């Protein structure tokens, strides 16, 4: 009897060890703060949720296959840039001259390498151009005509500015979603973040928000967390929100959840936006102080969620 119990105990210990040894990975995405389900039809809500679910499933499959977090966040944001529903890439918000000026950033938490672009007018996928800036130049941020020229020289797909302009963007409908972003943790335990946007509707030509500013709208550091922000960019720039969340964790030893709460409580005005954040333990925080934020997250443990309003 004792022998049987011992075998059973060994079996349970082995099972527990096997489960804990399974690779851990996770990702979170957002489609912008300010989305208000109270002013969206059922079809519109279902459309947003379906799009985010598809991006999450795509990212999970990549992470399960052993792809890097950097590749996953780029692919996720590219998918959202190609979707005219969101304020990034095709369908992006237009400036006061009726033109699209696009911003994006990407960051590798394993080595703090990062790249960003601002005021891009012809590169089809600004997030991929941001990665090219990171990997193929000694620079971090490139802007305007120079960034577009670099994209063309690098062989990235180029389009006319009209490609980005949709009727929804022209009319700036209330169902318009916002900035897009993704944070991810891969099986190697590395974090990455990426963000892309068309900025504010009716902005002055040349205005740049927080998305391409490393530490303001985008940040990733394995020693802290990965963050992508959405909302009123000027407020996130002034307070360096993305970097501040990670640094509070690193230097003050607080949890991810506590860091996000403290950062928002430290003078950030109400109704300005939100963040998605992820740490190396696979914990995520999807926080906002607007009426809503289209968002979702999933991991290797089977958790999977998508939401828009504050009720979930």
Q: Look up the pTM and report it.
A: 0.92
pLDDT exceeds 80 at position 268? yes
Alpha-carbon span 211 to 258, nearest angstrom? 23
Query: pLDDT-derived band of residue 311, with 50, 70 and 90 as boundaries?
Result: low
Please give the domain boundaries of the chain with CATH numbers for all domains. Answer: 24-89+103-111+175-307 (3.60.20.30)
Residue range 146-162: mean pLDDT, rounded: 98
pLDDT for the residue numbered 310: 87
54-70: per-residue pLDDT in tens? 999 999 999 999 999 99
Cβ(122)–Cβ(148) below 8 Å: yes
Cβ(289)–Cβ(274) below 8 Å: yes
End-to-end CA distance of the chain: 50
pLDDT for the residue numbered 10: 47
218 tagged catalytic: no
Catalytic residue among 4, 137, 166, 179: 179
pLDDT exceeds 70 at position 3? no
For every residue of the chain, DSSP letters joined together read: -HHHHHHHHHHHHHHHHHHHHS---EEEEEEEET--GGGS-HHHHHHHHHHHHHHHHHHHHHHHTT--HHHHHHHHHHHHHH-TTSSSSTTPPP-TTS---EEEEEEETTTTEEEEEEEESSBS-HHHHHHHHHHHSS-SEEEHHHHHHHHHHTT--B--GGGG--HHHHHT-TT----EEEEEE-TTS-EEEEEEE--STTPPTT---STTSBTTTEEE-TTS-EEEEEE-HHHHHHHTHHHHHHHHHHHH---HHHHHHHHHHTTPPTTSEEEEEE-TTS-EEEEESSS-EEEEEEETTS-EEEE-STT-
pLDDT exceeds 90 at position 34? no
217-242: per-residue pLDDT in tens? 999 999 999 999 999 999 999 999 99
Chain centroid to CA 103: 13
Across 76-80, 93-97, 278-282, least confident range: 93-97
pLDDT exceeds 60 at position 296? yes
Alpha-carbon span 75 to 59, nearest angstrom? 8
Reference 194, options 109, 40, 15, 73; nearest CA is: 73
Cβ–Cβ contacts within 10 Å for residue 23, how many?
12
- What is the maximum alpha-carbon separation in the chain? 83
Query: pLDDT-derived band of residue 175, with 50, 70 and 90 as boundaries?
Result: very low
pLDDT for the residue numbered 22: 80
91-143: per-residue pLDDT in tens? 999 999 999 999 999 999 999 999 999 999 999 999 999 999 999 999 999 99
Alpha-carbon span 177 to 174, nearest angstrom? 8
Cβ(216)–Cβ(149) below 8 Å: no
Alpha-carbon span 285 to 221, nearest angstrom? 16
Residue range 151-179: mean pLDDT, rounded: 83
Residue range 271-292: mean pLDDT, rounded: 97
Please name the residues in contact with 170: beta carbons below 8 A apart, sequence gap of 6 or more: 94, 98
């Amino acid at each position: 009897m004792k022998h049987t119990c011992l075998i059973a105990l060994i079996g349970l210990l082995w099972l527990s060890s096997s489960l804990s040894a399974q690779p851990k990975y996770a990702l979170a995405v957002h489609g912008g703060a300010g989305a208000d389900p109270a002013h969206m039809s059922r079809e519109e809500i279902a459309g947003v949720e379906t799009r985010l679910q598809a991006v999450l499933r795509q990212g999970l499959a990549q992470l399960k296959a052993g792809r890097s977090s950097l590749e996953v966040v780029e692919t996720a944001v590219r998918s959202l840039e190609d979707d005219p529903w969101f304020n990034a890439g095709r369908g992006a918000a237009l400036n006061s001259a009726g033109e699209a000026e696009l911003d994006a950033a990407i960051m590798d938490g394993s080595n703090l390498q990062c790249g960003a672009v601002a005021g891009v007018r012809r590169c089809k996928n600004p997030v991929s151009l941001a990665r090219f800036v990171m990997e193929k130049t000694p620079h971090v941020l490139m802007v305007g005509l120079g960034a577009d020229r670099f994209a063309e020289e690098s062989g990235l797909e180029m389009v006319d500015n009209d490609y980005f302009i949709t009727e929804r963007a022209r009319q700036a409908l209330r169902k318009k979603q916002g900035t897009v972003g993704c944070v991810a943790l891969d099986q190697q335990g590395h974090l990455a973040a990426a963000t892309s946007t068309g900025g504010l509707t009716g902005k002055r030509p040349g205005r740049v928000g927080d998305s391409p500013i490393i530490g303001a709208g985008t940040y990733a550091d394995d020693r802290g967390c990965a963050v992508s922000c959405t909302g009123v960019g000027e407020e996130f720039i002034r307070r360096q929100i993305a970097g501040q969340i990670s640094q509070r964790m690193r230097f003050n030893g607080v949890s991810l959840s506590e860091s996000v709460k403290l950062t928002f409580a430290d003078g950030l005005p109400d109704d300005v936006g939100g963040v998605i954040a992820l740490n190396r333990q696979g914990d995520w925080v999807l926080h906002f102080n607007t009426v809503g934020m289209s968002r979702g997250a999933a991991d290797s443990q089977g958790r999977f969620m998508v939401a828009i309003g504050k009720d979930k």
